[in-house]
């Protein structure tokens, strides 16, 4: 019964995407759609954003949208689900080992701007509330559209609070970048300043975390009340976390998190084809993690690390071969 309710919820969401698309096709304006569909503006914006991200529509004016291609429900199902900072009950519908991308920090390099060194005056003139960062590297901190924004001499730093869910990490990152650029354009209008270099924005993702939700290994660790932290030569990169009771296997290194979670996801996807017990997986993770820690602390010969890793891999291959 519960499964039927979940399927029905998904179907209703997919149907609403189609209904919104058809209403746009007929020239119905979004303001009228809210009345017809009994939707709040924020809810309607979710469906409009989904259709736009999938390339079905584009905005040509205030409240005016243009159809760019025929609606395909299969493409919509592949789109990333964006969760607000306060995560709700929809997470119960997430599949095992789906990716949650979060803790994004974006750094935007800005061109030389006239009177930017007097930006506190600009903020005061616009009656914008801010806090001087002082010892925290200087600059001003303000809250804009729910995000913490730091205005620096040569850059703008944005801390994203939302989580982005997708089957693939890169897709989730793309949607976070989409929201980030939309935020920067809104900030430009708000302050009356152009932060681009001749129409192009120079920015980087300075921090990002990716986790596999409802992960089997994470569930076992959480049930036993144990923690897991895995280090490599660059430092801490993988942990077991239970944020929002999601049993997450999480990659957290600021530079390699995207690539790391893709490798971890591939590993667990392979296990679904050639199963191992979570106890066997845990044993191998623990052995490798302890050896890496020891190597980092005492500079053990690299050959010893490789030898042990080779033994672990052979053990995994042996088990997979027997079960296949």
Q: What is the pLDDT of residues 111-145, one digit of tens each?
A: 999 999 999 998 998 888 999 987 667 899 999 98
pLDDT per position as a tens digit, 226-239: 888 888 888 889 99
Taking the C-alpha atoms of residue 313 and residue 284, their distance in angstroms, rounded to an integer, is 9
- Assign domain 2-79 to its CATH architecture: Orthogonal Bundle (1.10)
List Cα–Cα distances, 10 to 5, 28, 100, in angstroms. 9, 25, 19
Strand (E) or helix (H) holding 166: strand 163-166
Taking the C-alpha atoms of residue 116 and residue 166, their distance in angstroms, rounded to an integer, is 38
Q: Which residues of 282-294 are buried (b: 16+ CB within 10 A; e: fewer)?
A: bebbeebbebbee
pTM of the model: 0.63
Answer whether 50's CB lies under 8 Å from 13's CB: no
List Cα–Cα distances, 173 to 44, 85, 101, 163, 170, in angstroms. 23, 16, 7, 10, 5
* pLDDT exceeds 90 at position 275: no
Alpha helices by DSSP H, 126-232: 169-191, 216-224
Q: Name the average pLDDT for the chain.
A: 78
Q: What is the pLDDT of residue 164?
A: 87
Average pLDDT for residues 265-287, to the nearest whole number?
Answer: 70
* pLDDT exceeds 50 at position 33: yes
Q: In the chain, where does the domain assigned CATH 1.10.10 lie?
A: 2-79
Sign of the dihedral through C-alpha 245, 79, 157, 261: positive
Taking the C-alpha atoms of residue 219 and residue 188, their distance in angstroms, rounded to an integer, is 44
Give the residue from 222, 240, 220, 241 showing the smallest Cα distance to 230.
Answer: 240
Bridge partners, residue 164, by sequence: 82, 101
Q: What is the pLDDT of residue 292?
A: 55
Alpha helices by DSSP H, the chain: 2-25, 30-37, 41-53, 73-77, 119-125, 169-191, 216-224, 257-273, 278-298, 302-323
Give the residue, 47 or 271, on which the prediction is more confident: 47
In the chain, the N- to C-terminal Cα span, in Å, equals 35
């Amino acid at each position: 019964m519960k499964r039927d309710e979940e399927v029905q919820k998904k179907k209703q969401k997919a149907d609403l995407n189609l209904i919104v698309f058809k209403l746009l096709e007929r020239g119905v304006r979004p303001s009228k759609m809210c009345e017809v569909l009994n939707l709040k503006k924020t809810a309607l914006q979710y469906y409009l954003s989904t259709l736009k991200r999938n390339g079905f529509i584009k905005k040509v004016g205030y409240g005016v949208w243009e159809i760019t291609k025929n609606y395909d429900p299969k493409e919509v199902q592949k789109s990333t689900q964006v969760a607000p900072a306060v995560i709700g009950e929809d997470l119960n519908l997430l599949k095992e080992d789906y990716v949650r991308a979060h803790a994004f920090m974006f750094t935007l390099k800005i061109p030389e701007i006239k009177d930017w060194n007097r930006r506190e005056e600009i903020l005061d003139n616009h009656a914008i509330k801010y806090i001087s960062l002082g010892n925290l590297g200087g600059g001003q901190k303000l809250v804009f559209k729910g995000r913490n924004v730091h205005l620096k001499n040569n850059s703008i730093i944005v801390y994203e609070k939302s989580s982005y869910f997708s089957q693939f990490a890169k897709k989730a990152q793309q949607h976070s970048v989409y929201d980030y650029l939309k935020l920067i354009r809104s900030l430009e209008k708000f302050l009356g300043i152009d932060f681009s270099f001749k129409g192009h924005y120079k920015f980087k993702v300075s921090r990002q975390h990716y986790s596999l939700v409802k992960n089997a290994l994470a569930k076992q660790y959480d049930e036993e009340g144990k923690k897991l932290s895995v280090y490599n030569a660059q430092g801490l990169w993988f942990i077991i976390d239970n944020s929002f009771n999601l049993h997450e296997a999480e990659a957290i290194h600021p530079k390699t998190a995207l690539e790391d979670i893709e490798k971890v996801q591939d590993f667990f996807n392979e296990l679904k084809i050639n199963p191992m017990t979570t106890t066997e997986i845990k044993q191998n993770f623990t052995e490798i993690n302890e050896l890496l820690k020891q190597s980092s602390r005492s500079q053990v010969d690299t050959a010893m690390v490789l030898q042990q890793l080779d033994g672990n891999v052979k053990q995994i291959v042996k088990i997979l071969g027997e079960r296949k």
